[in-house]
Amino acid sequence: MLHIPLWRRIFIWSVVALGLLLALPNVFYTRVEQANDARAEIETLGSTPERQAAADAWPSFLPSGLVNLGLDLRGGAHLLAEVQVEDVYAGRMDGLWPALRDALRDARGEVGTIRRVDGGGDAITVRISDPAGMPRALEIARSLANPVTTLTGVGAQDLDVSGDGDELTVRLSEAERAATDDRTIRQSLEIIRRRVDEVGTREPTIQRQGEDRILIQVPGIGSAEELKSLIGTTAQLTFNPVVSRSGDPEGRSGPQEVVLPLLEDPETFYTLERSPVVTGEQLVDAQPSFDQNGRPAVTFRFNPTGARAFGDYTAENIGSPFAIVLDEEIISAPVIQSHIPGGSGIITGNFTVEGSTELAVLLRAGALPAELVFLEERTIGPELGQDSIEAGQIACLVAFVLVLALMWASYGTFGIFANLALLCNVGLLFGLLSLIGATLTLPGIAGIVLTIGMAVDANVLVFERIREEARTARGPSRAIQLGYEKALSAIVDANITTFIIATILFMLGSGPVRGFAVTLGLGILTSVFTAIFVTRLMVVIWFERRRPKTIEV
Amino acid sequence: MLLRFVADDTNYDFFKYAGATFGASCVAMVLSLVVWAFMGLNFGIDFQGGTTIRTQSEQAVDVGAYRAAMEPLGLGDVTISEVFDTSFGEDRNVAMVRISAQDGAESVTPETIAAVEAALQEVDPSITFPSVESVGPKVSGELIQTAILAVAASLGAILVYIWLRFEWQFSVGAVVALFHDVILTIGIFSLLQIRFDLATIAAILTIIGYSINDTVVIFDRLRENLIKWKQRPLREVMNISVNETLSRTIMTSGTTLIALVALLVLGGDVIRGFVFAITWGIVVGTYSSVFVAKNVVLFLGVKRDWSKPDKTEGNQFANIDS
């Protein structure tokens, strides 16, 4: 009656053993964590005796996956940033202006003289003196457009060109804006990731959230402020033509010109053309080095496009000064001595060695393409997290002991099976969480508590049912079998409804709600498995050995 | 001898006072709504925006001095409350400083936080700030929306699932019971002015999960008994079902409560509000599965005899045999 085939027994025990094995590293949390860190360091920085010793503290043949502790347990900083994607549109337009200007000038005979008027940051508005030439101007502007390079924007052009009377307006098309937004977010993600990695903290979470948000969680960092200054340094590098030099910050400047101070001498101002010749985005490499006078400098290299633009400009403007602008400040304004064709150059200025190294790192990591606005920031001190863990551990231990004792007192031998299964359940849950690298937070712990409640419930349902059946059924083996069979539908229905909730929470929720959903959802899987299969197998094995005439449940 | 909380054969009449229990539930729900309407919820920064700073000091917390130190900063609404916990030692005095969102600022201003920290350090040099959390008003609005959406979607999904697995009357009964639990939880949070934040939403969802679990187990037994006792009145069958599952209900709620009370007492002040919500919810949820969900099903009535055809005369599927 209570037969379970051998292969199924083996399967059930293997799953339990595998789960417990995967959960094992969490018992030796600190040791495994240090070993994992040491291995990662050996990989990148090479081996030292200390690192080797730390790595050997945990045998490499054992699993080493750990449940990540969330910031509320470990301490660290949490930031939610919104990327100002619109920033990029203006930059794109400024980049387009010289090409449009030159193309329209070449057609001066048809469109007359041209003048750029202020049309808002994200558009170029050009007034032409001969309105009859508008069709020709539109044609020229459209010829500068390129197809949008995304799957969804097939056939769309990146520019929206329109003419009204004598005004020509060029702006980015909807499809291109969408594509640009996406690119901007990806680029920001990548740059933030590189900057956070430079600090070498453990397991930062950097992920996109929604349309234009980025979530950054870094455990172990002292404050959100620190994290912000780390990722918020923009390092926007451009190379602009110099129009004039003066000592007046309010110096005269045309509509497409800008006045910026010189970094080493804030009394000196230069008037620059707003449209850069090359930008830092076209930079492929930057290294700290020294100039011919032995002073710290930064050497850099452009990609082919940048190299061509830089080469052309230097060839045409020998003898004119040229400004290297970093974050709205002029680092230096050297005079172009000769044509620089290879796309590499050197930034000299009043640098210290640290300064040049830092600049090189910033340039290499690239500039954030758009400004970040921080919507949410949380700092959780490590000692607070430690307190929570300790309090939580004690509470869980006490809760566990009480529940186990109550089950044993109520169901005797069967209670012990349920207790063993409950321990298996928690082990399996931690194994699963370690396997997928989930993050455990305080609400997540609540999910585990609820899971324990559910796991107890499934066993209670079965035992109560066996108890009922034992009163009427013929013989204990029949009672056990009926008990399991009849309790099944209640267990399944109750757990499926809860699982539905967990799934919805996972899909809709974020932050703590999601952490809760993960442990609850996985916990339901493991508790159903242990309640239906593991305890049953234990009961069957016990029954086969003892062959009791009556059972006491 | 094994421990028994409930005798093997109980025969309580759970519906003897159906009017009273159901009436009490209705009154409690209305009271909760009234309290909610008049006192409002003590929203945490998750839902209202603003900044909370947790302070810890070796000296006793002097709320008045803190307030005086922050007065010149002109931060508008500032709440300072001392936190007590059994696990704190003599040299651990904790307070929470809550600053409401500053007008017009979409994002968080680090200058404000720095100014507040400096001002407090002035009062008490040993003060430290174990946690500082700021949420901009833009995000908090969205957090409320997604939280409501998550709760609503869960209720909807449960409605559909139980309707498919049982009958629509059960589904209505279960969802009414869930509403009951959620509203009573909001009521108690409002009454005691416990901080209501994202974690509380997670707690409410836990309550929904537990309560539905409890309700489904009893429904499952009811469904089984409805097939077994075809001729008995619905009321009696329901009583039998509740009595049969009573032992299990007490056992499961009991073990879960034990675990939660341990967390409540020993788990530290950070999660106390959260655990309190769940504990309350388990009690209310257990009550509602017995006294609310089934009363609704009883009122609505369930079709008992499947051997007779429906009264469907007159529609397009009229019974040809009759």
Question: For A233-266, what is each residue's pLDDT tens digit?
Answer: 656 778 888 888 877 766 666 777 888 888 777 7
**Residues of A whose CB is below 8 A from B54:** 384
- Please tell me the number of Cα atoms within 13 Å of A225 on its side-chain side: 11
User: What pLDDT sits at residue A152?
Assistant: 58
Segment B45-69 mean pLDDT:
87
Whether residues A395 and B201 touch (CB distance < 8 A) is answered with no
| Three-state SS annotation for chain B | CCCCCCCCCCCCCCCCCHHHHHHHHHHHHHHHHHHHHHHCCEECHHHHCEEEEEEEECCCCCHHHHHHHHHHHCCCCEEEEEECCCCCCCCCEEEEEEEECCCCCCCCCHHHHHHHHHHHHHHCCCCEEEEEEEECHHHHHHHHHHHHHHHHHHHHHHHHHHHHHCCHHHHHHHHHHHHHHHHHHHHHHHHHCCEECHHHHHHHHHHHHHHHHHHHHHHHHHHHHHHHCCCCCHHHHHHHHHHHHHHHHHHHHHHHHHHHHHHHHHCCCCCHHHHHHHHHHHHHHHHHHHHHHHHHHHHHCCCCCCCCCCCCCCCCCCCCCC
pLDDT surpassing 50 at residue B313:
no
Note the pLDDT of residue B17.
80
Smallest Cβ–Cβ distance between A375 and the set B107, B203, B219 belongs to B107
Look at residue B314 and tell me whether its pLDDT is greater than 50.
no
Q: Which residues from B are below 8 Å from A489, CB to CB?
A: 220
Q: Which helix (H) or strand (E) holds A80?
A: strand A76-83
Question: Across the interface, do A398 and B205 touch by the CB < 8 Å criterion?
Answer: no
| CB spacing of B205 vs A501 below 8 angstroms | yes
According to the model, what pLDDT value does residue A149 have? 62
Min Cα distance A72 → chain B (Å) is: 9
Cβ contact A508–B146 (<8 Å):
yes
Instruction: Write the residue in A82, A398, A489 that is nearest to B220 by C-beta.
Output: A489
- From chain B, the residues in CB contact with A411 under 8 A are 2
Helix (H, G, I), strand (E, B), or coil: what is residue A468? helix
**B180-237 tens-digit pLDDT:** 999 999 999 999 988 888 778 878 877 888 888 888 888 889 888 988 888 888 888 8
pLDDT at B188: 93
Higher pLDDT, A417 or B266: A417
In chain A, which residues have their Cβ closer than 8 Å to the Cβ of B110?
225, 228
Residue of A381, A399, A553 with shortest CB distance to B259: A399
* Residues in chain A within 8 Å Cβ distance of B162: 497
Confidence band, pLDDT 50/70/90 cuts, at residue B322: very low
- Least confident stretch, A275-279, B33-37, B100-104: B100-104
Q: What's the full length of chain B, in residues?
A: 322
Which chain A residue has its CA at the smallest distance from B154's CA? A501
To the nearest whole angstrom, how far is the Cα of B313 from the nearest Cα of chain A? 35
CA angle in degrees (0–180, nearest 5) for A547-A552-B2: 150
Answer yes or no: do A412 and B247 touch at CB < 8 A.
no
Give the one of B108, B212, B251 whose C-beta lies nearest to A498's C-beta.
B212
From residue A27, alpha-carbon distances to A30, A201, A386, B303 in Å are 9, 23, 16, 54
A chain contacts of residue B131, beta-carbon cutoff 8 Å = 378-381, 384
B206 with A494: Cβ contact below 8 A: no
Q: Residue A380 pairs with which residues in a beta bridge?
A: A76, B131
Instruction: Quote the pLDDT of residue A130.
Output: 83
Distance CA B297, CA B22 (A): 12
Q: B312: pLDDT confidence band, cut at 50, 70 and 90?
A: very low
Q: What is the per-residue pLDDT for B20?
A: 87
- Selecting from B149, B161, B203 the residue whose C-beta is nearest the C-beta of A497 gives B161
Q: Is the pLDDT of residue B277 over 60?
A: yes
CA distance to partner chain B, nearest, from residue A382 (Å): 8
The answer to whether A490 contacts B221, with C-beta atoms less than 8 Å apart, is: yes
Q: Do A446 and B154 touch (CB under 8 A)?
A: no
Closest by Cα among B75, B207, B55 to B120: B55
Residues of chain A with pLDDT under 50: none
Tokens describing residue B176: 């009414």
Q: Which of A221, A390, A403, A493 to mutate to test the interface with B (most CBs of B within 10 A)?
A: A493
pTM over 0.90: no
Q: Which of A196-205, B52-61, B292-301 has the lowest mean pLDDT?
A: A196-205
B108 with A489: Cβ contact below 8 A: no
Paired with A388 in beta bridges are none
User: Do B267 and A383 make contact, defined as CB atoms within 8 angstroms?
Assistant: no
Q: What confidence tier does B260 reach under pLDDT thresholds 50, 70, 90?
A: confident
Confidence tier at B304 by pLDDT (50, 70, 90): low
A235 to chain B, minimum CA–CA distance in Å?
21
**What pLDDT shows up at residue B318?**
46
